[in-house]
Amino acid sequence: MSVNVYLNPVGMTGPQSASDAALPLAGGGLRFSACEVSRRSLESPADVSRGVLAIPELAAVEGAQAWLERLAAPRGVLAGLAMDRPRVMGVVNITPDSFSDGGARFDKNRAIEDGLAMWEAGAEILDLGGESTRPGAEPVPIEEEQRRVLPVVRALAGQGCRVSIDTRNAATMRAAVEAGAAIINDVTALTSDADSLATAADAGVPVILMHMQGTPQTMQKNPRYDDAALDVFDFLADRVAACESAGIARERIVVDPGVGFGKTLQHNLEVMDRLALYQGLGCPVLLGVSRKSMLGRISRGEPAQERLPASLAAALAGAQRGAQILRVHDVPETRQALALWQAVTFARAPGPASGAPATG
């Protein structure tokens, strides 16, 4: 039986407690000492067997060496940002129907003001969108999308902010980059618009490819997978390959497994648990879970504005699995939580005092 093999790094620690055989995850501070090995039948994709092997044991697994090289290789600089630690992307929705803020930033002046506040609070990317992609949302005419976002892009980029344009329309990508956007973020992984691949290639800026099953109108109507984490991986691998064929170098690509987009709660949890799997694509990984409805379903049904604690927990779960970009609504709170996580994860035990023997 023919199989595909996938490696999901596990046993993640900081460098101070890593074993000699451990490898750096994506060239960052985390180390992994073992991998969950998934073997998937090509004839029956739902037939998946899993087991955990320490890194030395992986030498006997066909294809594992290439996987390990991709998992361990450092990621390049993205729009001026080193991808060696988690970076915070602040969400600025310039829409009247955002699920997260109820349209509070539909006024462009409010959007600019809040974007600057996020930047000053420590956001390293500001993700601007003029079309809601919440479940059931209807498309927005391109002219209206651009009317909403372009003045905000110009204002924030003009203030020195690193701006990402969240759009699935090639014309808006082009106009936003001309207005100062430094990154293109497409929830359809450059599939919605026939001109998107060429536009992104010509723009020369990094692109974020997200997985979504269906469209915002259909994505939550009984989504199905043979294996959620692996199906998402295969989709993203295909899109990375399509981008490379179009002239977009892998060094310019970020992948996003699309939590909440065409997935049940269980699918989302499986994808989040195996988030380090996507480092096998050789690209930085973005995680966006902030304020999403799954957090309320796991907890007590809290509305979006009351999901901060769960949003922080999700961000830290992503950081522990190697996510390089965390897309969030609550920037200062996330920066504070990450500061504590980094201090603990990468703390080094003090060496022996001068003249004192080392012990243990």
Q: Is 327 a catalytic residue?
A: yes
pLDDT at 359: 35
Domains of the chain and any CATH numbers? 3-72 (no CATH), 87-345 (3.20.20.20)
> What is the mean predicted confidence (pLDDT) over 2-15?
94
Residue 252 among the catalytic residues: no
Active-site residue, from 274, 292, 307, 321: 292
Region 121-132: mean pLDDT is 95
354: pLDDT strictly greater than 50? no
Mean confidence (pLDDT) of the chain: 92
Cβ atoms 221, 174 nearer than 8 A: no
CA-to-CA separations, 242 to 2, 201, 218, 354, in angstroms, rounded: 24, 11, 24, 58
Rounding to the nearest 10 degrees, give the CA dihedral for residues 81, 84, 86, 91. Answer: 20
Summarize pLDDT for 56-97 with one digit per residue, the tens.
Answer: 999 999 999 999 999 999 999 999 999 999 999 999 999 886
pTM over 0.85: yes
Structure tokens at 227: 């294996």
Active-site residue identified among 31, 168, 327, 335 = 327
Q: What is the CA radius of gyration of the chain?
A: 21
Pairing of strands 253-256, 286-287: unpaired
Task: Please report the pLDDT score of residue 353 as a whole number.
Answer: 44
Rounded to an integer, what distance in angstroms lies between the CA atom of residue 271 and that of residue 164?
24
* Secondary structure of the chain as H, E, C letters: CCEEEEEEEECCECHHHCCCCCEEHHHCCCEECEEEEEEEECCCCCCEEEEEEEHHHHHHCCCHHHHHHHHHCCCCCECCECCCCCEEEEEEECCCCCCCCCCCCCCHHHHHHHHHHHHHCCCCEEEEECCCCCCCCCCCCHHHHHHHHHHHHHHHHHCCCCEEEECCCHHHHHHHHHCCCCEEEECCCCCCCCCHHHHHHHHCCCEEEECCCCCCCCCCCCCCCCCHHHHHHHHHHHHHHHHHHCCCCHHHEEEECCCCCCCCHHHHHHHHHCHHHHHHHCCCEEECCCCCHHHHHHCCCCCHHHCHHHHHHHHHHHHHCCCCEEEECCHHHHHHHHHHHHHHHCCCCCCCCCCCCCCC
Q: Is 87 exposed, middle or buried, given 0-12, 13-18 or 19+ CB atoms closer than 10 A?
A: buried
Residues 196, 209: Cα–Cα separation, whole Å: 12
**Band (19; pLDDT cuts 50, 70, 90):** confident
Assess whether pLDDT exceeds 90 at residue 170: yes
Q: Give residue-wise pLDDT tens across range 248-257.
A: 999 999 999 9
pLDDT, mean of residues 298-309 = 96
Q: Render pLDDT for 184-225 as a digit per residue (tens, 0 to 9).
A: 999 999 999 999 999 999 999 999 999 998 777 677 878 899
The pLDDT of residue 99: 56
